[in-house]
Structure 1
Amino acid sequence: MITVERLTRRYGDFLAVDDVSFTCQPGRVTGFLGPNGAGKTTTMRVVVGLTPATSGRATIGGHAYRDIPNPGRHVGVLLDASAQHAGRTGREVLTLGARTMGLPDRRVDEMLDLVSLTPVESRRRVRHYSLGMRQRLGIAHALIGDPSVLILDEPANGLDPAGIRWMRGLLQGFAEQGGTVLLSSHLLHEVEIIADDMILIGHGRIVAHGDKESLLASAGSAACLVSSSDNEWLAEALTRAGLAVTPQWGALRVAAEPVEVGRVALAAAVALTELRPADGGFEDLFLELTSDTQRDPAATGVAS
């Protein structure tokens, strides 16, 4: 478990993290989301002891990171995939990590295989790695100690679609085995898919915290698109059930979760041809909650 209690980090007059508190539970992936400069990376650096807190504290399993013996065996960390010795090979990077943690060299081959770095690639200097390859190497290094906690900052940067899907499965499997994952990312859609809980931060302060469903429900943003063999009859059934229905592009937009719409359709004996969350639901919620921290205003068109 990761516990952050009233954490503040100040740089002179600049307040990077302002009285932040949250927990990350075992068996769950927690997404840490916010605009650039919101305080995500600073918070994560404090959690792993790279940046001292001005006040408050952060613990992992009840201990400050600096007090955990051989911390790599308990906490896997990837904060910057490019912060690796460019002159070493990928295999050398992992071998040094394994030996520092007192692990057998066979663990290196296991991790290279896990992240799909080939023997030829593992003997290549890191300076010749693509960003995606560096991410894979960084994830391998984070996992080499078989930790119970993972703290990852933008781990999908540079990965292609297949690599992102691979990472998604890897982290979900880690959590299913009881691991704790704190994941920061700008890929909102990916976090929406993988995260069990979400923390939204802006200007160094937590603006929302909870699972996706509860966040959407609390903001009144839950919505889905549905089509059926008889949209007119379905719309009547949904309206009778007290749900707001709006025709949209040959389908119906309903202010409810898909499971609720499915129940109404089943009771009305209507065959559905499409049922999915409405595009932009969580993205709209994220932008709304962090609107005063966004660098760019909402686009309204292209200037001529």
Structure 2
Amino acid sequence: MITVDRLTKTYGAYTAVDDVSFACQPGRVTGFLGPNGAGKTTTMRVMVGLTLPTRGQVTIGGLKYHDIPNPGRHVGTLLDASAQHVGRTGREILTIAAKTMGLPSSRVDEMLALVGLNDNESTRRLRNYSLGMKQRLGIAHALLGDPSVLILDEPANGLDPAGIRWMRGLLKGYADRGGTVLLSSHLLHEVEMIADEMILIGHGKIVAQGDKKSLLAGANGSATTLVTSLDNAALGAALSQGGHGVEPMGDGLKVQATPEQVGRAALSAGVVLTDLRSGGAGLEDLFLELTSDTAREAVPGVGAPTTGGTPA
């Protein structure tokens, strides 16, 4: 379990993290989201002892990171996949880490196989690795000690679609076995697919947190459904008569109603549906709504970035 308690980190007059508190539970994947410069990486660096807090604290399993005996056996981290000696091979990097943790050399072979780095790739020097290969090596390094907690900053960076799907299954399986996962990523769709809990941060402050279902339900407000039928005009008329807002969208309609209500209206009107889906806000909409004042770009319908603030 990771516990962040009133964490604050300042650099002179600039506050990178401002009185942040949250917890990551075992058996759950927690998505940690926010614009560039929002405070995600600073918070993760404090977690693993790379940055000292100004106030507050972070504990993992009840201990500060520097008080954990042989921390690599308990906490796996990936903050920067390129932060290794570029003249060493992937196998050498893992071998040194294994010896430091007191692990058998067979563990290195297991991790290389797990992340899909073959013998030829594992004996290349890091400087000759692609970004995706560095990410796979970084994930292998994080999992090497069979830790109970994973702290990962942008682990999908550089992975191809097959690699992203593989990582998704890996982390989900890890959490299902009781592990604690804190995952920071700009790939919002991936976070929405894998995360059980979500924490959104902007300007160093938590702007929303909770389980995925509750957060997205709050963003959706009134139910919205996207529907296409063989007779959109008749369906739209039936829905309007039922008191539901209807507007054209693409080849179909956007309706202020639940999918069940739309289905019942179609049945009553004798209209055949060809597509029916929930049209409520997703994670991207929630993210943009809650962090619009920290964004560099103006997002139509969401808001423009503030001026004169601290650069992200």
Q: Normalization by structure 2: what TM-score?
A: 0.87
Residue 186 of structure 1: CA displacement?
1.0
Native 8 Å contact 1:237 1:264 kept in 2? no
Q: Give the 3-state SS of the residue equivalent to 2:215 in structure 1.
A: helix
Contact 2:95–2:108 (8 Å) recurs in 1? yes
Are the structure 2 counterparts of residues 235 and 129 from structure 1 closer, same or farther at C-alpha, using a change threshold of 3 Å? same
Question: Which shifted more, 105-114 or 291-300?
Answer: 291-300
Contact 2:74-2:149 within 8 A present in 1 as well:
yes
- AA at the equivalent of 1:16: A
Aligned counterpart, 2:286: 285
% of aligned pairs identical? 71
Q: How far is 1:84 from its partner? A: 1.1
Aligned equivalent of 2:176: 176
The answer to whether the 8 Å contact 2:74/2:145 transfers is: yes
Q: Which residue of 2 aligns with 1:265?
A: 263
Q: How many residues align?
A: 297
The 1:250–1:6 alpha-carbon spacing in structure 2 relative to 1, beyond 3 Å, is: same
1:6·1:55 contact (CA, 8 Å) conserved in 2?
yes
Quick check: 282-291 or 229-238, which moved more? 229-238
* 1:204 to 1:93, Cα distance in 2 relative to 1, 3 A: same
1:193 matched to 2:193: yes
Deviation at 1:213, TM superposition (A): 2.5
Query: What's the CA shift for 1:197?
Result: 1.1
Amino acid of the structure 2 residue aligned with 1:214? S
Other structure's SS at 1:44 match: helix
In angstroms, what is the RMSD of aligned CA positions?
Answer: 2.5
Question: How many angstroms apart in 2 are the aligned matches of 1:271 and 1:21?
Answer: 50
Offset at residue 268 of structure 1 (A): 6.9
Alignment of 1:185-224 (within 5 A): 185-221=185-221, 223-224=224-225
Structure 2: unaligned runs, 5 residues or longer:
302-312
Deviations 1:42-91 (CA, angstroms, capped at 9, x unpaired): 00001111111101111111111111111111110000001011011000
Aligned partners of 1:183 and 1:63: how far apart in 2? 20
**Structure 1: gaps of 5 or more residues:** none
Q: For the structure 1 residues 164 and 49, does the alpha-carbon distance in structure 2 shift closer, same or farther, using more than 3 Å as the test?
A: same
**CA drift at 1:237:** 7.6
Alignment match, 2:134 = 134
Q: CA offset at residue 232 of structure 1?
A: 6.2
For the Cα contact (< 8 Å) 2:292–2:299, is it kept in 1? no
Distance 1:195 1:235, change over 3 A: farther
Q: Report the equivalent of 1:248.
A: 249
SS in 1 for 2:152: strand
Code of the residue aligned with 2:69 in structure 1: it is P
Compared CA separation, residues 213 and 148, structure 1 to 2 (3 A): same
Task: Please give the alpha-carbon distance, in whole angstroms, between the structure 2 residues aligned to 1:243 and 1:183.
Answer: 39
Does the C-alpha gap of structure 1 residues 14 and 97 become closer, same or farther in structure 2, counting only changes over 3 Å?
same
Which residue identity does 2:29 align to in structure 1?
Answer: V
Q: CA deviation at 1:118?
A: 0.6
Change (3 A) 1:130 1:241: farther
Q: Aligned runs of 1:92-171 on 2, under 5 Å?
A: 92-171=92-171
1:151-193 Cα shifts (integer Å, max 9, x gaps):
0001111111111111111111111111111000111111111
1:15 corresponds to 2:15: yes
Amino acid at match of 2:253: L
Rate the CA distance shift 1:236–1:103 in 2: closer, same or farther, 3 A.
Answer: farther
Separation (CA, whole Å) in 2 of partners of 1:240 and 1:99: 72
Q: Is the 8 A contact 1:28 1:180 kept in 2?
A: yes
What SS does the corresponding residue of 2:164 show, helix, strand or coil? Answer: helix
Q: Please tell me whether the aligned partners of residues 220 and 280 of structure 2 are also in contact (alpha carbons under 8 angstroms).
A: no
Q: C-alpha displacement at 1:249, in angstroms?
A: 1.7
Structure number, greater radius of gyration: 2
Equivalent AA in structure 2 for residue 226 of structure 1: V
Q: How far off its partner does 1:220 sit? A: 3.6
